[in-house]
């Protein structure tokens, strides 16, 4: 498990990179930003609740004094991050939204340095720089290929900060001994209650029950964009530090860009290609470093 942890995080980032396609499709069906956030939260909570009832009911147990961890992952991270990210997607292209989201590694590294005493090594800093520059080139920001509004930048950076908070609060929950499934259930359960008041529940029910295709599409959306990637990412956090984990997951804008090219007919320039190489290079650096660190830990 320890050796595959970085690859779990990588796969999670790839799945998150496909989220823009689902969001665009649901937007086209008439669902607003918060409606889509609520669909993810309700669907994930229901699926995990059913699973825990069958798998191990004891995983529902938490201590009241630890509720702040789940309020942090659920409300401060999931609701805030999703709202900002989906809004950014409506303001700009998928690739620009993804790169603004990936200001998250910088937030994670700084907060982890103070909260968890994670070292800011030269490799981490170099990988972070490669990630930020690479993401900027992937989206075409550096070459002026995309116009970005002030509101788009604000919501994008807000998404990055909210995304970073998931790594921070879930790390606290893991260190308190909570199971991954417990963390995910209460994260999305609380996020569900936080997002429902801001959404059109009637519209959501109407869409999901409209046809078997819509219901199936919703199920795939919840599994592919939330249940599976969050399980993989949180599992990886058991063995990979927050900073490297957030950088490894930065494969998301690369995947988002490639999907944009293939399915949305967006174009790739030389700048974009160089950016992809830089992001992938930073991911390799973090993967190698994480695997080496885990091997050294096994020897101790």
pLDDT digits (tens, 9 = 90+) for 57-71: 999 999 999 999 999
Q: How do residues 245-292 score in pLDDT, each as one tens digit?
A: 887 887 877 787 788 777 777 667 777 778 778 877 777 776 555 544
Place of tokens 């950016």: 275
pLDDT of residue 292: 47
pLDDT of residue 143: 58
pLDDT of residue 63: 96
CA distance 162 to 186: 17
DSSP assignment letter at 198:
G
Instruction: List the beta strands (DSSP E) in the chain.
Output: none
Alpha-carbon radius of gyration of the chain: 19
CA distance 296 to 292: 6
CB 262 within 8 A of CB 26: no
Q: Which residue ranges in the chain fall short of pLDDT 50?
A: 291-292, 294, 296-297, 299-300
pLDDT of residue 273: 79
* DSSP secondary structure string for all residues of 42-110: HHHHHHHHHHHHHH-GGGG---GGGHHHHHIIIIIIIIHHHHHHHHHHHHS-HHHHHHHHTTHHHHHHH
Give 295's Cβ-side CA count (13 Å radius): 6
pLDDT of residue 291: 47
pTM value > 0.85: no
Tell me how long the chain is: 300
DSSP assignment letter at 3:
T
């Amino acid at each position: 498990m320890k050796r595959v942890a970085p690859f779990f995080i990588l796969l999670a980032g790839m799945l998150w990179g496909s989220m823009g396609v689902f969001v665009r499709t649901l937007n086209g069906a008439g669902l607003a930003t918060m409606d889509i956030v609520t669909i993810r939260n309700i669907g994930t909570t229901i699926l995990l609740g059913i699973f825990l009832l069958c798998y191990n009911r004891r995983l529902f147990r938490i201590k009241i004094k630890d509720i702040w961890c789940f309020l942090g992952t659920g409300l401060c991270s999931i609701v805030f991050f999703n709202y900002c990210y989906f809004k950014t997607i409506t303001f700009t292209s998928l690739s620009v939204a993804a790169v603004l989201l990936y200001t998250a590694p910088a937030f994670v590294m700084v907060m982890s340095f103070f909260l968890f005493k994670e070292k800011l090594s030269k490799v981490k800093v170099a990988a972070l720089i490669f990630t930020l520059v690479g993401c900027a080139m992937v989206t075409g920001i550096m070459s002026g290929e995309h116009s970005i509004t002030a509101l788009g930048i604000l919501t994008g950076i807000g998404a990055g900060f909210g995304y970073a908070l998931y790594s921070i609060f879930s790390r606290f929950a893991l260190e308190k001994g909570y199971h991954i499934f417990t963390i995910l259930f209460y994260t999305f359960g609380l996020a569900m209650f936080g997002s429902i008041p801001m959404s059109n529940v009637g519209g959501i029910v109407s869409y999901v029950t409209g046809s078997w295709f819509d219901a199936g599409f919703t199920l795939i959306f919840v599994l592919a964009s939330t249940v599976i990637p969050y399980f993989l990412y949180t599992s990886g956090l058991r063995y990979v530090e927050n900073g490297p984990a957030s950088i490894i997951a930065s494969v998301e804008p690369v995947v988002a860009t490639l999907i944009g090219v293939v399915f949305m007919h967006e174009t790739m320039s030389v700048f974009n290609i160089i950016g992809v190489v830089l992001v992938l290079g930073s991911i390799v650096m973090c993967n190698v470093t994480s695997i080496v660190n885990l091997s050294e830990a096994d020897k101790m």
